């Protein structure tokens, strides 16, 4: 076995959206993977849970002893956890503590690389959200220790089951006419989950990424209004009518999203607060280091829509996917995978 694949790769947050798609990609690429989560049963129920190359371990970022055990013997670490659901309003403090704990465990156990997926946006912007501040803090903490850390900063991730995509889908399907906040005109640079995964894997294989921060995004810079129109076209829906009003604050927007969609408020509020500033790449160095074909917003949404089981405007049969949360299914059966 090649030296780079001799030690297992630790993937934290294994039952989360990105980690749950990264793990099978790493396994199919010949890596041994140690998946860390708080429930062995939930991880074992995933399609990759019984793969010969997988090892399942329990761990919690607030429990230093469990982190030391999870990291022991591993080379690289994917840090793909956050505390929005488990810690609610105190998630920012919990995330800082968790990142510091992981940094210490990585150093104690001789890991050689930490890879983290953070959020895109100018940290000094007047409308910066607590969520994006927290994502930035975590990245800084992970990069402050002796183990080299790579930070990838992404805006909206387009893929079936992604919280951002599911909010887009639910709103477009349920509200042909929307009273919208001013942020519908804000520029953003979404990226397909397929491309996110390739960048994450590529960081393992390109040592020049260690210790650096990269913006990652697709080829399109669009507004959220544009995204609704692209989704409607792919789904065969009428183009939504949007009436912007100045009174919908990020907090009110999050409550509106929570009422109209089954996305939990603990997720909807931080995401909505991050819509009030541009989320566009300021540099593209990663494209030269890890070249790949970047999907347009239309291509990414088409893949996600096809994977949702609703392509063609009809249900394709009830099919439970253990890799998706209940709110992402919500009566709509998922089929296949867009990654």
Tell me: pLDDT of 37 over 80: yes
- pLDDT-based confidence at residue 82 (cuts at 50, 70, 90): confident
Long-range contacts of 49-55 (CB under 8 A, 24+ apart): 51/24, 51/27, 53/27, 54/23, 54/27, 55/8
Say which range, 171-175, 196-200, 300-304, has the weakest mean pLDDT: 171-175
Taking the C-alpha atoms of residue 82 and residue 142, their distance in angstroms, rounded to an integer, is 13
Taking the C-alpha atoms of residue 50 and residue 258, their distance in angstroms, rounded to an integer, is 35
Say which range, 44-58, 176-190, 209-223, 323-337, has the weakest mean pLDDT: 323-337
| Structural tokens at position 226 | 């544009």
Tell me: pLDDT of 312 over 90: no
- pLDDT-based confidence at residue 252 (cuts at 50, 70, 90): low
Say which range, 26-30, 134-138, 178-182, 313-317, has the weakest mean pLDDT: 313-317
pTM: 0.88
- For Cα atoms 46, 47, 51, give the angle at the middle one, nearest 5 degrees: 105
Given a contact cutoff of 8 angstroms between Cβ atoms, the answer to whether 281 and 219 are in contact is: no
The pLDDT value recorded for residue 333 is 34
Tell me: pLDDT of 5 over 70: no
The pLDDT value recorded for residue 247 is 63
pLDDT digits over 222-247, tens only? 998 899 899 999 888 888 888 777 76
The neighbour count for residue 321, using CB atoms within 10 Å, is 20
């Amino acid at each position: 076995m090649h030296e780079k694949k001799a030690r297992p790769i630790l993937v934290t947050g294994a039952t989360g959206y990105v980690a749950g798609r990264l793990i099978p990609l790493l396994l199919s690429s010949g890596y041994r993977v140690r998946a860390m989560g708080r429930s062995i049963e939930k991880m074992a129920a995933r399609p990759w849970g019984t793969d010969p190359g997988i090892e399942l371990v329990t761990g919690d970022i607030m429990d230093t002893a469990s982190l030391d055990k999870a990291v022991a013997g591993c080379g690289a670490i994917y840090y793909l956890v956050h505390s929005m659901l488990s810690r609610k309003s105190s998630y920012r403090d919990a995330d800082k503590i968790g990142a510091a704990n992981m940094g210490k465990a990585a150093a104690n156990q001789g890991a050689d690389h930490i890879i983290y997926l953070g959020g895109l946006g100018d940290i000094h912007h007047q409308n910066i959200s607590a969520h994006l501040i927290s994502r930035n803090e975590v990245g800084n903490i992970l990069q402050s220790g002796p183990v080299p850390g790579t930070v990838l900063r992404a805006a909206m991730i387009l893929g079936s089951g992604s919280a951002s995509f599911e909010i887009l889908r639910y709103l477009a399907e349920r509200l042909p006419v929307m009273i919208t906040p001013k942020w519908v005109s804000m520029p953003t640079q979404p990226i397909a989950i397929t491309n996110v995964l390739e960048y994450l894997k590529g960081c393992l294989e390109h040592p020049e990424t260690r210790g650096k921060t990269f913006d990652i995004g697709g080829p399109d810079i669009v507004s959220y209004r544009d995204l609704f129109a692209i989704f409607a076209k792919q789904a065969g829906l009428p183009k939504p009518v949007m009436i912007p009003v100045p009174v919908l604050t990020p907090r009110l927007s999050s409550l509106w999203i929570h009422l109209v969609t089954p996305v939990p408020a603990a997720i909807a509020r931080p995401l909505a607060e991050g819509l009030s500033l541009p989320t566009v790449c300021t540099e593209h160095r990663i494209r030269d280091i890890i070249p790949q074909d970047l999907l347009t917003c239309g291509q990414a949404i088409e893949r996600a829509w096809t994977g949702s089981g609703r392509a063609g405007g009809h249900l394709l049969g009830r099919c439970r996917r253990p890799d998706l949360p209940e709110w992402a299914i919500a009566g709509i059966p998922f089929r296949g995978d867009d990654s």
